[in-house]
Copies of this chain bind each other. A is one copy, B any other.
Amino acid sequence: MAKRVTGPEIEKLIQLLAKVPGLGPRSARRAALHLIKKREQLMGPLATAMGDAHAKVKICSCCGNVDTIDPCTVCTDVRRDQSMIIVVEDVSDLWALERAGAMNAAYHVLGGTLSPLDGVGPDDLNIKGLIDRVAVGGVREIIIAVNATVEGQTTAHYITDHLAGLDVKITRLAHGVPVGGELDYLDEGTLSAALRARTVI
């Protein structure tokens, strides 16, 4: 803004909101005005929730999940089959798989994928932690659920190689046609994979 038309506290709030993913400079202003209009119902509680989360958030020292306790809710959940570990790139993938609700397993968050061009090596990821968890024993299966990208597959190979000597079954997510997907919109790689992995009806 050319001239100041509002208080510095409000301008500061807009500046910071604009850094939140999903909000840009324009939507940050709209969000700030909405928060100001709903200051008792939304702005106050959100400020408190954010302060609380900021004070309490921890990264689980076992699996790399985000929580307010360490070890996290997933690692300490006795109703989960802790002998199966789903390996994911990011906490958002863990949340996505949990929304699907298909498995009742433990997780391991790598924190990214191997990417030599970006200077991300094995030591930058939570891979040693995974090997240690398997080496301790009691793990039957590792399900590698990384993205189907070049970096994801490279990471999957690296993990498979380094778990080779240990007595654990290693699996990966199936490739195929997304449920509800239209063939015409799918790439050749997916179609080939779906054909190769065809199943009897």
Residues on A lying within 8 angstroms of B by beta carbon are 1-10, 12-13, 16-17, 19-23, 27, 29-36, 39, 42-54, 56-57, 65-69, 72-74, 77, 90-92, 94-95, 98-99, 101
Residue numbers in B under 8 Å from A91 (CB-CB): 33, 36
Expressed in whole angstroms, the Cα–Cα distance for A1 and B31 within the complex equals: 26
Complex contacts, A101 vs chain B, CB 8 Å: 2-3
Known: A50-B13, A52-B9, A99-B1. A31 touches B36 (CB 8 A): no
Copies of this subunit: 2
Among residues of B, the one whose C-beta sits closest to the C-beta of A46 is: B16
A29 to chain B, nearest CB (A): 6
Whether the Cβ atoms of A50 and B35 lie closer than 8 Å is: yes
CB neighbours (8 Å) of A8 from chain B are 68
Please determine whether A9 and B49 come into contact, CB atoms closer than 8 angstroms.
yes
In-complex Cβ contact of A34 among B5, B20, B32 (8 A): B20
Residue among B16, B35, B43, B72 making CB contact with A45, cutoff 8 Å = B16
Q: Would you call B35 and A27 a contact (CB within 8 A)? A: no
The reply to whether A33 and B1 contact each other, CB–CB distance below 8 Å, is: no
User: Contact: A49 with B5, CB < 8 Å?
Assistant: no
Least CB distance, A63 to chain B, in whole angstroms: 10
Q: Tell me the complex Cα distance, A42–B56, Å.
A: 15
Determine if A53 and B22 form an interchain contact, defined as CB atoms under 8 angstroms apart: no
Residue of B23, B56, B74 near A9 (CB, 8 A) is B56
Contact with A21, one of B6, B34, B51 (Cβ below 8 angstroms) = B34
Compute how far the CA of A33 lies from the CA of B30 in the bound complex, rounded to whole angstroms.
22
Among B16, B39, B49, B54, which residue has its beta carbon within 8 angstroms of that of A54?
Answer: B39
Q: List 21 A-B contacts (CB under 8 A).
A: A1-B95, A1-B99, A2-B99, A6-B73, A6-B95, A7-B68, A8-B68, A10-B53, A12-B52, A13-B49, A16-B46, A17-B46, A20-B23, A20-B35, A22-B31, A23-B23, A36-B53, A36-B57, A36-B66, A43-B54, A47-B54
